[in-house]
Amino acid sequence: MAAVSDEPKASFRLSMLIYDTRYRSFTIQFVVLCLVMAGAGWLIDNLLRNLSALGRGVDFGFLTSRSGYDISQTLVEYTNDSTHARAWLIGLLNTLLVAFLGCVAATILGIFAGVLRLSKNWLVARIMTVYVEVFRNVPLLLWILMIYAIFTDVLPAPNAFRGENPEATMSLFGTAAFTNRYTAVPWVSFTNSAGWLDLGVVWISLDLTLIVGAIVGGFLTNRFLIKRAATIQEATGKRPATWWQSILALFGPIIVVFLALGADFEVPELKGFNFVGGLQVSNSLVALWLALTLYTASYIAEIVRAGINAINKGQSEAAFALGLRPGRTMNLVILPQALRVIIPPLISQYLNLTKNSSLAIAVGYLDVRGTLGGITLNQTGRGLEAMLLLMLTYLAISLTISAGMNIYNRSVKLKER
Amino acid sequence: MKKSVLFGALAATTMLAGAAAAQGTTTLDTVKARGELNCGVNTGLVGFAAPDANGNWQGFDVALCKAVAAAVLGDASKVVYVPTTSADRFETLTSGKIDLLVRNSTWTFSRDNDLKMDFVGVNYYDGQGFMVRKDLGVSSAKELNGATICIQTGTTTELNLADYFKANNMTYTAVTIETNAEGEQQYIAGACDAYTTDASGLAATRAAFADPENHIILPEIISKEPLGPAVRHGDNQWGDIVRWTLNALIAAEEYGITSANIDELAASSQNPEVKRLLGSSDDLGAMMGLDKEWAKRAIKASGNYGEIFEATIGSATPIGLARGLNAQWTQGGLLYTPPFR
């Protein structure tokens, strides 16, 4: 019976690439790939040739030369003696800052608005509908400009805080000033600061590292305490009291760090033209952040609403039948299931928000589009190079966000066993 | 955003391909064949280049566009004005979208060499200054330590500002803005203490305020800003045409040729310099591919340099700029044109 299972001798001939259905699709795909690559290559080659014909070859050397311009908001050390590459980094950090703040705020606001839009309370549901429709249907740029214009025109200039009978007074018990340039708030300063750690490209604040370390350490200790209490409860049936240990673990280290660094509250003061001391949050950042948040949250609200609506009504009825209150039903039964539907489109919204943050130039917030793609581009005239780097930057940010969110998505998605 | 950049890159590719293909023909031929001059100007700076109430472009820079069009095409109205921002003006020129850029652009080494453009002359000698509100009580730029300053991005002023404050050991906060109109709005609202740009631009901006008397321009001029027309690098003939059109306007003032007496002088002047310039004797135009009366038409378009200055930005206009450095060399200024012979 061997003759039946005997395969024909696998003698591969070139013609099989076309006539054999097993190989044909590979052949076609390969040819198309080659054509696409050749097409792209031709375009790039054409561009490079013509650029060099105009005497403007591609050259990234400008990145290491002195930038010569100042940036008003710098998260890490930067002066006008720094290089263009460093200005790029500063812009990147500013982009990441506003994108991070925007994503967090938009998620919180979006979930609230989405849930409330389904509320049985007629007024609440309608208010949320109006919010979503108004923000979703007006271009983001207009929102950014409008919020910025409101800040600029309505809030007083720092000058108005001057004199015996000033036109404007400081808010929050005389510690914070809302001006049409920035919001100046009190901020901690350290009398015996731990200084900076020089890592070549980035300087890391040791103060910040210590504070973050204390917070993370506190959380980890607290988690360990709770786990241990659970183990004891399993074994003995008695749960030891952990509340005072938790409080100690959570707040103890941070208080110690603050005391050791000599923390002191610094209240902003009007000196010369502007407020000095404390923390100044520029209006361009706040306007951009607010607009990005409100705009993206309206989309997230719709995604959340769709996610909740996608859950079978039987789920909430079952939860009610078990005696769960509406709030707990939402938190324990509906939302965890809705997350599976919500997360994939939510990732797109995060990506959109990050890319939309490039509208920062409209309010003079120097993000990566403003530094590398704005001032550096203008001062060096290296448009193609700067745009290429800019595209790569946004691509890298987006892919990173995507990858991170996909990992989270995998952890909440329906696990079929 | 990413998409538009990609398409932009593709468009740039095809555009550059077009520019390269057109290299065989000269800009002069292209302009003549098109019958119109594409002139890059400011998006709107009163006095230099701004559309008037009827939508016609007027101003000091616009007058040079008209003069070139008159010299080359014989008709000063055959100009397409392309508004350019400070950020995109040079790309617009090098990509071939415009034939000539007259947009208060500072002539610098790197722009001339690295960006592959040719500045062919200076039509306005400027310098960067500061404007502040009078009630601020500031009388010198040296008192601006700690101030918030509005500045247009993508300009040489950005670098000058950083250098000036560094040299004087002062600090400032920059509010970056995209256009002059935006800067005006921020400055008026008090979002910045001072507005900085070229002194001529400050004067023009102040002229448009509701209360110009409450604002002063500080005496310090912190940089040299020779503003001039620019053309693409590599087409010397076209560069010469623009350079000598500008020179003709300056020379006309020196020789006393005005739009009023030009016909009379062309017919009857005995001054050999005037006769050569107006094409009554020698044919200078042929040397750069134009006809005999190119300069006559250029001067007729909006008058000589002095007439243009007085009509658009001079002391009788709301902008009220004095001639200063921009007077003839015989009057103690810097305007000095090589001889027409």
Contact between chains at A391 and B6 (C-beta distance less than 8 A):
yes
- What ipTM is given for this predicted complex? 0.72
pLDDT digits (tens, 9 = 90+) for A172-210: 777 788 888 888 888 877 777 777 777 666 667 777 888
Contact between chains at B162 and A70 (C-beta distance less than 8 A):
yes
Residue A33 pLDDT grade (very low, low, confident, very high; cuts 50, 70, 90): very high
The yes-or-no verdict on residue B203 having pLDDT over 80 is: yes
The residue of chain B nearest to residue A390, with distances taken between CA atoms, is B2
pTM (two decimals): 0.76
Rounded distance between C-alpha atoms, residue B246 and residue B107, angstroms: 15
Say if residues A276 and B147 touch (Cβ distance below 8 Å).
no
* Residue B3 confidence (pLDDT): 42
* Residue A375 confidence (pLDDT): 87
Contact between chains at B5 and A72 (C-beta distance less than 8 A):
no
Percent of chain B at pLDDT > 70 equals 93
Residue ranges in A118-236 assigned as alpha helix (H)? 122-136, 140-154, 171-174, 206-236
Percent of chain A at pLDDT > 70 equals 95
Residues of B in Cβ contact (< 8 Å) with A390 = 5
Percent of chain A at pLDDT > 90 equals 37
The residue ranking higher by pLDDT, B108 or A53, is B108
Question: Mind telling me how many Å the CA of B32 is from chain A's nearest CA?
Answer: 23
Contact between chains at B177 and A364 (C-beta distance less than 8 A):
yes
Contact between chains at A380 and B114 (C-beta distance less than 8 A):
yes
Residues of A in Cβ contact (< 8 Å) with B153 = 361, 364, 370, 374-375, 378
Rounded distance between C-alpha atoms, residue A241 and residue A98, angstroms: 41
Q: Which of A274, A370, A379 sits opposite B176 (nearest CB)?
A: A370
Q: Which of A68, A273, A391 sits opposite B159 (nearest CB)?
A: A68
Q: Mean pLDDT across chain B, nearest whole number?
A: 87
Q: Would you call A289 exposed, middle or buried from its count of C-beta atoms within 10 A (0-12, 13-18, 19+)?
A: buried
Residue A9 pLDDT grade (very low, low, confident, very high; cuts 50, 70, 90): low
Highest mean pLDDT, choosing among A104-108, A245-249, A363-367:
A104-108
Contact between chains at B94 and A384 (C-beta distance less than 8 A):
no
Residue A55 pLDDT grade (very low, low, confident, very high; cuts 50, 70, 90): low
pLDDT digits (tens, 9 = 90+) for B243-282: 999 999 999 999 999 999 999 998 888 888 899 999 888 8
Residues of B in Cβ contact (< 8 Å) with A378 = 86-87, 153-155
| HSE toward the beta carbon, residue A9, CA cutoff 13 A | 2
The yes-or-no verdict on residue A168 having pLDDT over 80 is: no
Contact between chains at A46 and B191 (C-beta distance less than 8 A):
no
Q: Which of B110, B176, B193 sits opposite A364 (nearest CB)?
A: B176
Q: Which of B162, B166, B191 sits opposite A152 (nearest CB)?
A: B191
Residues of B in Cβ contact (< 8 Å) with A271 = 146
Domains of chain B, first to last:
12-125+227-331 (3.40.190.10), 128-223 (3.40.190.10)
Say if residues A320 and A329 touch (Cβ distance below 8 Å).
yes
pLDDT digits (tens, 9 = 90+) for B4-50: 444 444 444 444 444 444 455 889 999 999 999 999 999 888 889 99
Question: Mind telling me how many Å the CA of B64 is from chain A's nearest CA?
Answer: 25
Report CA A57 to chain centroid distance, whole Å.
35
Q: Which of B13, B90, B171 to mutate to test the interface with A (most CBs of A within 10 A)?
A: B13
Residue A272 pLDDT grade (very low, low, confident, very high; cuts 50, 70, 90): confident
**φ/ψ (deg, to 5) at B182:** -65, -40
Contact between chains at A272 and B110 (C-beta distance less than 8 A):
no
Residues of A in Cβ contact (< 8 Å) with B91 = 383
The residue ranking higher by pLDDT, A172 or B332, is B332
The residue of chain B nearest to residue A68, with distances taken between CA atoms, is B159
Q: Which residues contact B101 (CB under 8 A, 6 or more apart)?
A: B39, B40, B84, B89, B90, B92, B93, B117, B229, B230, B231
pLDDT digits (tens, 9 = 90+) for A291-316: 999 999 999 999 999 999 999 889 98
Residue A3 pLDDT grade (very low, low, confident, very high; cuts 50, 70, 90): low
**Hey, what amino acid is at A48?**
L
The yes-or-no verdict on residue A264 having pLDDT over 90 is: no
Q: Do the bridges between strand B147-152 and strand B194-198 make them parallel or antiparallel, or are there none, so unpaired?
A: parallel
Q: Span A151-164, mean pLDDT?
A: 83
CA dist list (Å): B73 to A169, A286, B69, B98, B299: 64, 53, 5, 16, 14
